[in-house]
Amino acid sequence: MAILVDATTKVICQGITGAQGTFHTKGAKAYGTRCVGGVTPGKGGTTHPDADLADLPLFD
């Protein structure tokens, strides 16, 4: 099975509020990746503490 990725692909980050998730999501957004949200257990419905990622919704 092939995974097709292009400029319209939307990405959701697992573990976005952790140090590694925050670092890599910031880098991906700077590169132009269409990040649409993040997943972290227990933090659904809140916002990311980092101002650069506060526009992304968080899910459980």
Domain boundaries of the chain, sorted by first residue: 10-59
pLDDT, position 1: 78
Average pLDDT, stretch 17-44? 96
The sign of the torsion formed by the CA atoms of 44, 50, 52, 54 equals positive
Q: Does 11 score more than 90 pLDDT?
A: yes
Place of tokens 């980050």: 13
pLDDT at 52 (0 to 100): 94
CA 58 to chain centre: 8
Q: Rounded mean pLDDT of 29-35?
A: 94
Domain 10-59 bears CATH identifier 3.40.50.720: yes
Q: How far apart are CA 13 and CA 20, in angstroms?
A: 11
